[in-house]
Amino acid sequence: MKIYRANILFTPTPDAFKILERGFVMVDSEGFVSGVFSELPQEYCSLPVDDFGDSLLIPAMNDLHVHAPQYRNQGMAMDLELLPWLKTYTFPEEAKYTDTGYAEMMYRCFVRDMVTHGTMRASVFATIHPEATKLLADIMNEVGMGGLIGLVGMDTDCPDNLRNSTSEAVDGTLCLLEHTKDMTLISSIVTPRFVPSCSVDMLTQLGRTALEYGLPVQSHLSENKGEIALVKRLFPDSSCYGAVYDRFGLFGQTPTLMAHCCYTDGKELQLMQKNNVFVVHCPTSNCNVGSGIAPIRKFLDAGLPVALGSDVAGGHHLSIFRVIQYAVQMSKLIYAQTDGRTPFLSLSEAFYLATKSGGSFFGKVGSFEPGYSFDALVIDDSYLSTLNSQLSPLVPELAEELTSPYTLQERLERYIYLGDDRQIVRRFCQGREVVL
Amino acid sequence: MKIYRANILFTPTPDAFKILERGFVMVDSEGFVSGVFSELPQEYCSLPVDDFGDSLLIPAMNDLHVHAPQYRNQGMAMDLELLPWLKTYTFPEEAKYTDTGYAEMMYRCFVRDMVTHGTMRASVFATIHPEATKLLADIMNEVGMGGLIGLVGMDTDCPDNLRNSTSEAVDGTLCLLEHTKDMTLISSIVTPRFVPSCSVDMLTQLGRTALEYGLPVQSHLSENKGEIALVKRLFPDSSCYGAVYDRFGLFGQTPTLMAHCCYTDGKELQLMQKNNVFVVHCPTSNCNVGSGIAPIRKFLDAGLPVALGSDVAGGHHLSIFRVIQYAVQMSKLIYAQTDGRTPFLSLSEAFYLATKSGGSFFGKVGSFEPGYSFDALVIDDSYLSTLNSQLSPLVPELAEELTSPYTLQERLERYIYLGDDRQIVRRFCQGREVVL
């Protein structure tokens, strides 16, 4: 049993933060929260407390869509169109992962950078290469973060050096499952790249594999109009893009993540509702790639589960805090473009997507309610919250006046909009400290 | 005469970066560039060279729209609507600047933070308070950055403690002009807050003052639809919002900055063209406040001068590098929403807006062509460019392979999308080093 003390903020529901000023959280020996208290109950008063002082203690971030082998391309060629960007940058980079030395080096950087920015769980696209993908699992496991890793299946309309056969994709996915079976927090996820890069045989076999082994599924859906038109040409009988995945058992038959959904509506939306398919909202990527703005309010109103994803390298940054910020901002643009008829996301709603909603894909993750995995970040925002460190050398006699002038929620918001990895001083995944 | 050596990147024109790998820039004793060279001419070879090694040397950032007294509110309540946000956060904060002690403390933080993030010139809204506004000028001058500072005029539909009379606004503007007359890089700018907060008398007298003293003008224009409708009700005879400023001599009769222009079109666009009025694009603010996306491509096609602004605290961050990023991103959303018919901004175009285009409001600023003020930043992006510092402890034998794998333009882009103040290691304004 461990007891931590700090300013605790989390979102049991999307509508508001639960805030405990200098509160306590108790974590059991398995790494799960056993209670959160404003005052420590009498029976625990003799136990040692790990006190984080005036820092903020919040659930860690969950990144539900990220391409590990695109790490090197972060923030690069963000002024190209999607297709030249894929052909010039993405595919040549992914092809390098046939070299396990290169893969190990880059995956170590990628994982360390994810953890640096506060992500403790991620659902990751790897490449078609089984050895490199196992290395990624090893590295994530070694660091102590949690995640689902997808060996990518792709056999259509792609470079020859990035093509695998159906059996290679299936075998690779199952090998990874076997490889990770003793890793507490890491497993394999079925990952067809997206409909246009998969043959019918690939989709069929991956769908069967998901069902047979009870594996989750991740892919891309309705990211841009050209892609949607292409899927319509490839599968003219399907009522919508999502229905293609559905036909192959890849759309909620097991827990399923669909990234983007910028243009999901009508039948596709109904099918996602019926099958409880997750929308993974990737607003930084949608801006960078020029896809459009996903109608998140509509999805929330429809009761769909929604998570956030960095989508590096379509997204330029691994920080899910930045993605929270863009999620609010994009919802404000929709608000403007619908003359105020579409309510924008509140901070607590966007935070909920990044924590409890996204975390639910991994089990009881993303909240500090009893029974939840203690995935947490300690944020020392003193630089941002008191201005003291800036002021003391300047106007010492006035600095005191401003000590902690912000509410705890304002401090968290300012951290999200103004802070960076410098302020994340401790990281926990399922109760265990993750050290850089 | 000083000679600096580094990897030099700047945009003499919007369409491409001029790049000199390990080039030289010569700066005269007045702080102006006298030449940029790939190889140092023979006659200078005996002079000492200040060598920045593998760092990037770029023009400094120019912030053409920022509210200094809203510094405390950065990144706060970004999920409120405009009016409650103004009433709950903005106005009460600005009212505090009647206290010169508070003003000095906050303005010192504000100026230091601007410089930290690489802004060497800014056009700033202060408040209605003459003493506090003079302090802001003193602090900017002391630090060594350049700028135009506006004592705000507002007498309509505003809180009593934020109302000045026409004569107070005019006198305050002229006092500031007098106060700054011996400051090389600081001056006064006529600053009606915006049409709805100014009486006809205020607009008339501020317009006359601008013309009589040849002072530049800054204000807000067509930021959101409600505001435009309000101006239409207040001035039903004016053909557009901009025509109201024009009628009072506040729209290009002297050099003029108009922030936002999210909905500028038709007659207003033509009037801006005719009068050569600057658009100040504030994309972070437009997202946060839910205003909409300004049609920058249309303005560029029309030949309007366009600059960038952080618009703190509507904008959440003082870094103009972030604003460059959002400018590209917002142009990509327009690209998506017009089905690819509106070309998005290239990185060089957005960088040009932040440097040479914005800088032109201050004279020959924002480029390294001969005759330009040496306003410059040295960016040590080794962490981002080589991955070495991350890799060496991890896979030393492979780290070498990746040394400088990025082109210089890719390195600059990655700095813009991934970097922060940590990588800005030297700052110059008109040849003089600005030290934090």
Which residues of chain B from 18 to 47 reach within 8 Å of chain A, CB to CB? none
Using CA atoms, how far apart are residues A106 and A83, in angstroms rounded to an integer?
24
Grade residue A395 by pLDDT with cuts at 50, 70 and 90: low
Residue among A190, A261, A252 nearest A222 (CA):
A261
Q: Residue A244 — very low, low, confident or very high, per pLDDT cuts 50/70/90? A: very high
Could you tell me the strand order of the sheet in which A278-281 lies?
A: A217-221, A256-260, A278-281, A306-308
A108 to B339: CB separation less than 8 angstroms, yes or no: no
Is the pLDDT at B337 greater than 90, yes or no?
Answer: yes
The b-or-e profile of A337-373 (16+ CB within 10 A means b, else e) is beeeebebbbbbbbbbbbbbbbbbbbebbbbbeeebb
Task: Check the CA dihedral B25-B31-B33-B34 and report its sign.
Answer: negative
Q: Which residue of A has its CA nearest to B289?
A: A332
**Residue B184 near chain A (CB below 8 Å):** no
Q: Determine whether the interchain pair A79/B347 forms a contact, defined as Cβ–Cβ distance below 8 Å.
A: yes
Backbone torsion region of residue B312, taken as left when φ is above 0, otherwise alpha when ψ lies between -120 and 50, otherwise beta: beta
Contacts of A293 in chain B (CB under 8 A): 333
| A344/B contact by beta carbon, under 8 A | yes
> Chain B residue with minimal CA distance to A291?
B336
What pLDDT score was predicted for residue A410? 93
Say how many CA atoms lie within 13 Å of B197 toward its Cβ.
Answer: 20
Q: What residues form DSSP beta bridges with A25?
A: A4, A36
Which residues have a Cβ under 8 Å from the Cβ of A164 and sit 6 or more positions away? A128, A152, A153, A154, A155, A172
Mean pLDDT, all residues of chain A: 94
Strand partners, A19: A9
pLDDT classification of A86: cutoffs 50, 70, 90: confident
Best mutation target, B76, B135, B348, B353, to test chain A (most A CBs within 10 A): B76
To the nearest whole Å, the CA of A84 is away from the closest chain B CA by 14
CB contact under 8 A, A292 and B316: no
- Whether chain B has a CB inside 8 Å of the CB on A109: the answer is yes
For the CA atoms of A305, A308, A313, A315, what is the dihedral angle to 10 degrees? 120
Residues of A in contact with B385 (CB under 8 A): none
What is the band of B79 on the pLDDT scale with cuts at 50, 70, 90?
A: confident
Shortest Cα distance, chain A CAs vs residue B410, angstroms: 6
Apex B94 CA angle, B93 and B97, nearest 5: 105
Say whether pLDDT at B399 is over 80: no
Residue B392 has pLDDT above 60, yes or no: no
The tokens describing B316, both together, are 């959440």
**Residue-level pLDDT at B401:** 55
Looking at beta carbons, which residues of chain B come within 8 Å of A14? Answer: none
Please tell me the least confidently modeled range out of A9-13, A109-113, B204-208.
A109-113
pLDDT digit string, tens, across residues B3-32: 999 999 999 999 999 999 999 999 999 999
Amino acid found at B369: E
For residue A42, the tally of other CB atoms under 10 A from its CB is 7
Q: Do A112 and B390 touch (CB under 8 A)?
A: yes
pLDDT tens sequence across B222-247: 999 999 999 999 999 999 999 999 99
A104, B74: Cβ pair inside 8 Å?
no
A402: confidence class by pLDDT, cuts 50, 70, 90: low
Instruction: Check whether A177 has a pLDDT greater than 80.
Output: yes
Residue-level pLDDT at B233: 97
- Please indicate whether, in this complex, the C-beta atoms of B287 and A345 are within 8 angstroms of each other: no
Mean pLDDT for A32-61 is 96
* pLDDT above 90: residue A199: yes
Model-level pTM? Answer: 0.96
Please state the rounded mean pLDDT for residues A355-361. 98
SS3 (DSSP) at B334: helix
What confidence score (pLDDT) does residue B13 get?
98
**Residues on chain B touching A336 (C-beta within 8 angstroms):** 224, 290-292
Say if the Cβ atoms of B346 and A77 lie within 8 Å: no
Question: Chain B partners of A335 at a C-beta cutoff of 8 Å?
Answer: 290
Q: Which of A385-389, B6-10, B227-231, B347-351 has the lowest mean pLDDT?
A: A385-389
Write phi, then psi, for A228 (nearest 5 degrees). -65, -40
How high is the pLDDT of residue A430? 98
% of chain A residues with pLDDT over 90 = 91
Strands (DSSP E) contained in B237-361 are 256-260, 278-281, 306-308
Specify the pLDDT at position A80. 76
The model's pLDDT over B131-177, given as tens digits with 9 standing for 90+, comes to 999 999 999 999 999 999 999 999 999 999 999 999 999 999 999 99
* Contacting residues of A for B102, CB less than 8 Å apart: 398, 401
The pLDDT of residue A382 is: 86
Mean pLDDT calculated for residue range B84-93:
88
A232 interfaces chain B, CB cutoff of 8 Å? no
CA distance A27 to chain B (A): 32
Query: In whole angstroms, how far apart are CA A283 and each of A195, B112, B299, B333?
Result: 21, 31, 26, 11
Could you read off the pLDDT of A65-85 as tens digits, one per residue? 999 999 999 998 877 777 788
Å between B204 CA and nearest CA of chain A: 33
List beta partners, residue B125: B67, B150
Interchain pair A390, B414: CB under 8 A: no
Nearest chain B residue to A289, by CA:
B332
CA distance B415 to chain A (A): 8
Whether the Cβ atoms of residue B327 and residue B280 lie closer than 8 Å to each other:
no
Give me the pLDDT at residue B82, please: 75
DSSP B60: P
Q: How confident is the model at residue A388 (pLDDT cuts 50, 70, 90)?
A: very low
B421 phi and psi angles, rounded to 5 deg:
-65, -20
- Is A317 in contact with B101 (Cβ distance < 8 A)? no
Mean pLDDT of B344-366: 98
- B290 φψ region: left (φ > 0), alpha (ψ -120 to 50), beta (else): left
> Residues near A43 by Cβ (< 8 Å), separated by ≥ 6?
none
The residues in A 113-152 lying below 8 A from B, measured between CB atoms, are 113
pLDDT at A404 over 50: no
pLDDT at B81: 76
The pLDDT of A388-398, averaged and rounded, is 51
Cβ pairs bridging A and B (under 8 Å) = 152
CB-CB neighbors (< 8 A) of A407 in chain B: none
Among B69-83, B119-133, B321-335, B405-419, name the one with the lowest average pLDDT.
Answer: B69-83
Please, which residues 363-422 of chain A have a Cβ atom closer than 8 Å to chain B?
Answer: 387, 390-391, 394-395, 398-399, 401-402, 405-406, 410, 413-414, 416-418, 420
Mutate to test the interface with A, among B15, B78, B100 (most CBs of A within 10 A): B78
Question: What does the pLDDT look like over A297-326, one tens digit per residue?
Answer: 999 999 999 999 999 999 999 999 999 999
Residue B388 pLDDT > 60, yes or no?
Answer: no
pLDDT at B333 over 80: yes
| Mean pLDDT within B361-386 | 93
B285, closest residue in chain A (CA to CA): A329
The residue among A192, A204, A208 whose CA lies nearest residue A158 is A192
Interface test with B, best of A105, A222, A337 (most B CBs within 10 A): A105
Please answer whether residues A366 and A357 qualify as being in contact, where contact means their C-beta atoms are separated by less than 8 angstroms.
yes
- C-beta atoms of B287 and A394 within 8 A: no
**Arithmetic mean of pLDDT, A14-24:** 98
Residue B396: the pLDDT is: 53
Sign of the alpha-carbon torsion through B364, B366, B371, B376:
positive
